[in-house]
C-alpha cells in the first residue's frame, strides 16, 4: 500500500516547509528577545522574498498565505469559552462590544476623511479594536483579492504590533497614575492593548488578579472577530454590487479565486464558532485545547512569514505618514473610549 501524498500536494511542500522553518526561527527569536513574533516573522519572510516570485517554493508560499492563515484563524476559537464571558458579568461584555464597534466605526470614518478606502479603515480599526496582528490577518482573509491588499495587511501588522508593544510598557504606568485598582487595571489593559501576548504581559506585571481580568476581557475582544469578519464580507459584496450597477471599474478587486461570490460567513469563521461552542462544553481535554492554541499560533506565524515573502520593503516604505497617523489615532481613541466606559462601569457597580 502506497503512503505517497496526493499529487496535488506535492508542489506545495517546498514553500510550506520553507515557511514553517522560518516561522520556527521567528518564534525562537521572539521568545529570546521578548519582541512581537509577528514582526520577526514578517522581517524574516521579507528577507527571502525572492523565493516567492518563481521556482518551486511559490505554490506553497501562496497556500500558506491564504489557507494556512484561515485555518489558524479558525483555531483561535479554542481560546474562548462561554463560561469565561459569563464570569465577568454583562457590563464588561457590553463595554467590549461597544468599544469594538465604535472604534471600528471611527476607524472607517477617519480612513475615509484621510483619503483611504473604507476597507483599510476596517482592517486597521479591527486590528486595533480586537486582537492586533491576528485580527488584521483574519479580516484580510475575508477581504477580496486586490493589488494593494497584502501591502495594507503588512503595514497594519507592523503598525499594530509596534503600538501594542509600546502600550504594554506605558499602559501599566498609566493605570497606576490614574489610581485604578487591580480589577479596573485589568479591565483597561485587556480592553485597550492590541495583541494577546502583550495584554498578558502587562496584566500580570501588575498582579495576578489584574492579569486574570485582562486576559478574560481580551478573549472577549477576540470573540468579536466573527461579526467583524461578516461585516468585511458584507462590505465587499455591497462594494461589488454598487460597482456593477454603475458599470465602473472594479479597482482590481476580485471576489474570490474562482470569481464567485463568497459566503456571508466564510468557512474559517464557521470553524471559529464551532470550536468556541465545543470548547465551552468542557468535553475537550486540556492537552487538546493547549495543543490547538499552539497549532493556531504556528499557523498564523507561518502565514505571516509567507505574506512577508510576497512583499518588497520598498512597498512598505512608500506608504507615507497618513497610515501611521491613522493607527495612532485609532489607538488613542480606543484608550479614551474604554476609560470613559470604565468610569460609567464604576458608577454602576461601585467597584
d(CA 33, CA 295): 22
- Among candidate residues 307, 274, 339, 311, the one with its CA nearest the CA of residue 136: 307
pLDDT at 288: 93
Kindly list the domain boundaries of the chain, sorted by start residue.
13-346
- Percentage of the chain beyond pLDDT 70 is 85
d(CA 287, CA 125): 34
d(CA 342, CA 187): 8
- Among candidate residues 124, 125, 118, the one with its CA nearest the CA of residue 337: 125
pLDDT at 49: 81
pLDDT at 295: 93
d(CA 76, CA 300): 10
pLDDT at 220: 83
pLDDT at 258: 41
pLDDT at 327: 93
pLDDT at 1: 38
pLDDT at 253: 46
- Written as one string, the DSSP assignment of 62-124 is HHIIIIIHHHHHHHGGGG--HHHHHHH-HHHHHHHHHHHHHHHHHHHHHHHHTT--HHHHHHH
> 62 vs 99, 139, 246, 304, 320, CA distance in Å?
35, 17, 33, 11, 27
pLDDT at 121: 92
The gap between the terminal CA atoms of the chain, to the nearest Å, is: 67
| Residues of the chain with confidence (pLDDT) below 70 | 1-8, 54, 88, 145-147, 246-265, 312-320, 347-351
SS (H, E, C) 211-260: HHHHHHHHHHHHHCHHHHHHHHHHHHHHHHHHHHHHCCCCCCCECCCCCC
Question: Which cell numbers in the block locate residue 2?
Answer: 502506497
Geometric angle at alpha carbon 24, from 163 and 257, rounded to 5°: 75
pLDDT at 79: 80
What are the phi and psi torsion angles at 350 (to 5°)? 70, 25
- Among candidate residues 40, 43, 23, 51, the one with its CA nearest the CA of residue 316: 43
Amino acid at each position: 500500500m502506497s503512503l505517497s501524498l496526493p499529487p496535488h500536494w506535492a508542489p506545495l511542500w517546498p514553500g510550506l516547509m520553507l515557511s514553517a522553518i522560518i516561522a520556527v526561527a521567528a518564534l525562537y527569536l521572539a521568545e529570546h528577545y521578548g519582541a512581537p513574533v509577528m514582526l520577526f516573522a514578517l522581517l524574516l519572510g521579507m528577507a527571502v522574498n525572492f523565493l516567492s516570485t518563481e521556482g518551486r517554493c511559490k505554490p506553497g508560499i501562496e497556500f500558506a498565505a491564504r489557507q494556512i492563515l484561515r485555518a489558524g484563524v479558525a483555531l483561535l476559537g479554542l481560546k474562548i469559552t462561554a463560561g469565561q464571558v459569563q464570569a465577568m458579568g454583562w457590563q464588561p461584555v457590553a463595554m467590549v462590544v461597544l468599544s469594538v464597534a465604535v472604534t471600528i466605526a471611527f476607524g472607517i470614518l477617519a480612513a475615509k476623511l484621510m483619503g483611504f478606502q473604507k476597507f483599510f479603515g476596517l482592517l486597521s480599526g479591527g486590528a486595533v479594536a480586537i486582537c492586533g496582528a491576528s485580527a488584521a490577518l483574519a479580516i484580510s482573509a475575508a477581504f477580496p483579492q486586490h493589488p494593494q491588499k497584502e501591502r495594507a495587511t503588512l503595514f497594519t501588522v507592523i503598525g499594530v504590533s509596534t503600538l501594542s508593544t509600546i502600550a504594554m510598557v506605558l499602559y501599566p504606568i498609566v493605570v497606576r497614575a490614574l489610581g485604578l485598582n487591580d480589577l479596573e487595571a485589568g479591565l483597561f489593559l485587556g480592553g485597550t492593548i492590541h495583541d494577546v501576548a502583550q495584554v498578558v504581559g502587562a496584566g500580570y506585571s501588575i498582579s495576578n488578579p489584574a492579569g486574570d481580568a485582562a486576559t478574560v476581557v481580551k478573549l472577549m475582544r477576540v470573540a468579536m472577530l466573527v461579526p467583524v469578519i461578516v461585516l468585511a464580507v458584507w462590505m465587499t459584496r455591497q462594494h461589488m454590487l454598487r460597482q456593477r450597477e454603475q458599470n465602473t471599474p472594479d479597482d482590481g478587486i476580485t471576489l474570490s479565486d474562482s470569481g464567485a461570490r463568497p459566503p456571508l460567513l466564510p468557512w474559517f469563521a464557521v470553524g471559529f464558532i464551532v470550536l468556541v461552542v465545543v470548547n465551552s462544553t468542557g468535553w475537550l481535554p486540556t492537552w487538546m485545547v493547549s495543543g490547538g492554541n499552539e497549532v493556531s499560533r504556528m499557523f498564523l506565524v507561518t502565514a505571516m512569514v509567507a505574506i512577508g515573502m510576497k512583499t518588497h520593503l520598498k512597498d512598505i516604505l512608500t506608504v507615507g505618514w497618513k497610515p501611521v497617523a491613522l493607527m495612532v489615532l485609532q489607538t488613542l481613541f480606543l484608550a479614551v473610549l474604554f476609560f470613559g466606559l470604565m468610569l460609567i462601569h464604576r458608577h454602576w457597580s461601585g467597584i
